[in-house]
């Protein structure tokens, strides 16, 4: 089973580093053949992606949908069985692929999850999002089969869009007659919020929670400057270039 994971990056270097290093650890213990495609135009992100063995897709920052479509088109060349979308600020639970195994084996067209933890490191606040009123899959960790991708010629999003990508893809698939399957599972990823997030912590509905984030981080070091949302020192900037 071949699974391509596609993501887009811009800014938030420390957040991306944490999430990518966690992603690397998760796929090392995954029973499937996984490749990660990272779309962006930032030198630091490219170095990080290449160091972790991810595929770099050089794409201008305008638009977000363009970055995801370009990553998807590059993944097409590998001929994966499934494609999973992921934000560059999403921390994965180590058991993510365990909960996907049945859907992958059965060849489900589109599937995903509806629960997540929202975390704001600068304040320590954590929130549990327990799903939409009308149950539907979240965009993060949503899986599309090769059949679905082929139907749309590996372009799942309008090319000039920065917001609402998940909804746009769902509408497109629904019109074409594809069905989304919701997998019953605990929260399998953490959405990290900061000053540069498209949607802030307070815009996400849910109840404050004391959920332990350490299982998602998996022992990785969190940079104190990033947690406090301070600008990195020049010394650190030079060290990471």
Task: Identify the pLDDT of residue 172.
Answer: 94
Using one digit for the tens of pLDDT, what is the confidence trace for 3-46? 999 999 998 899 999 999 999 999 999 999 999 999 999 999 99
Segment 85-104 shows an average pLDDT of 97
Total tally of structural domains belonging to the chain: 1
pLDDT score, position 238: 39
pLDDT at residue 147 is higher than 80: yes
Phi, psi of 181 (to 5 degrees): -110, 130
Looking at the predicted structure, is the pLDDT value of residue 240 above 70?
Answer: no
Average pLDDT, stretch 155-179? Answer: 91
> Quick one: tokens of 78?
């590998």
Average pLDDT over residues 129-151: 93
The mean pLDDT value for 45-53 works out to: 97
pLDDT of residue 225: 77
CATH number for the domain spanning 212: value is 3.90.550.10
Give the model's pLDDT for residue 110: 98
For residue 183, the enclosing domain spans 2-240
Burial class (CB in 10 A: 0-12, 13-18, 19+), 145: buried
* Position 232 pLDDT exceeds 50: no
If one compares 162 and 177, the residue with the highest pLDDT of the two is 177
Mean confidence (pLDDT) of the chain: 91
pLDDT of residue 220: 92
Average pLDDT on 95-111 reads: 97
pLDDT value at 126 more than 70: yes
**pTM for this model (two decimals):** 0.92
pLDDT of residue 235: 40
């Amino acid at each position: 089973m071949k699974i391509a994971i596609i993501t887009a990056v811009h800014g938030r270097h420390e957040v991306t580093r944490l999430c990518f290093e966690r992603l690397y650890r998760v796929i090392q213990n995954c029973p499937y053949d996984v490749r990660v495609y990272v779309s962006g135009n930032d030198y630091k992100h490219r170095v990080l992606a290449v160091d972790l063995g991810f595929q770099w897709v050089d794409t201008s920052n305008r638009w977000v949908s363009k970055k995801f479509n370009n990553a998807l088109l590059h993944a097409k060349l590998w001929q994966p069985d499934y494609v999973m979308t992921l934000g560059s600020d999403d921390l994965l639970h180590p058991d993510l692929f365990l909960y996907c195994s049945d859907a992958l084996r059965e060849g489900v067209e589109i599937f995903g999850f509806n629960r997540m933890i929202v975390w704001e490191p600068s304040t320590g606040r954590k929130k549990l999002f327990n799903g939409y009123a009308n149950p539907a899959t979240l965009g993060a960790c949503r899986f599309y089969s090769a059949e679905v991708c082929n139907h749309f010629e590996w372009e799942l999003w309008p090319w000039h869009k920065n917001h609402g990508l998940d909804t746009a893809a769902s509408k497109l698939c629904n019109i074409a007659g594809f069905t989304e399957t919701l997998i019953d599972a605990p929260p399998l990823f953490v959405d990290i919020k900061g000053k540069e997030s498209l949607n802030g912590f307070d815009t996400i509905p849910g109840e404050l929670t004391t959920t332990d984030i350490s299982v998602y981080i998996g022992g990785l070091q969190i940079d104190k400057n990033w947690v406090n949302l301070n600008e990195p020192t020049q010394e650190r900037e030079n060290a990471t270039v």
